[in-house]
Amino acid sequence: MNTANKLTMLRVLMIPAFLLVLYLGVPGANYWALAIFVIASLTDTLDGYIARHYNQTTDFGKFMDPLADKCLVTAAMLWFVEIGQMPGWALLVVIIREFGVSGLRMVAADKGRVIAAGWSGKVKTASTMVCIVLMLLPISPWINSICVAVIVLTTIYSGVEYFMKNLDVLSQVK
């Protein structure tokens, strides 16, 4: 297993640690969870850099890296739903978009086409990560509401853009 894949697996292992800290309610739990989340997020940036720069791109990494990201973000949002900081429907929007985009990518791959991540997807990911970081801090309810709105709106926008740019993939489905 190369360095990039080890960092991806480290991120996967950090997800239960992130949740455990929150559920145990240790003193300063949100700050510990925040530290874990930030470190896990940084491993995503680092493993991508290492994989590309040192030619360590693998099929395992192509599969596991986005899965680890989705699991980390979903874990944080599930916590926010559980504690009443995010409505369940907002998380559902995120999950539906992820399933939809993943399904579209599978159909495209079956046709020999690779659909790379678009600009709006990168903006969605970055803004979601920033919002999760903010939501782990003791912020006012109106900032929390803005964060939820940003997550939902960037998720919808990127999902719609993704499908609009790749409608031809779906038009070929029989």
H runs (alpha helix) in 54-87 = 59-82
Lookup result for tokens 């596991």: 64
CA dihedral 82, 83, 85, 87 (to 10 degrees): 30
Nearest to 60 by CA among 125, 4, 121: 4
Regions of the chain short of the pLDDT cut 70: 172-174
The pLDDT of residue 118 is 85
- Rounded to 5°, angle at Cα 61 from 104 and 18: 95
pLDDT tens readout for residues 89-101: 999 999 999 999 9
3-state secondary structure (DSSP) of residue 39 = helix
Amino acid 172: pLDDT: 65
Residue 174, Cβ neighbours under 10 Å: how many?
2
pLDDT value, residue 174: 62
Q: What confidence tens digit (pLDDT) does each residue in 17-36 have?
A: 999 999 998 899 999 999 99
Which tokens is 25 given?
A: 């309610």
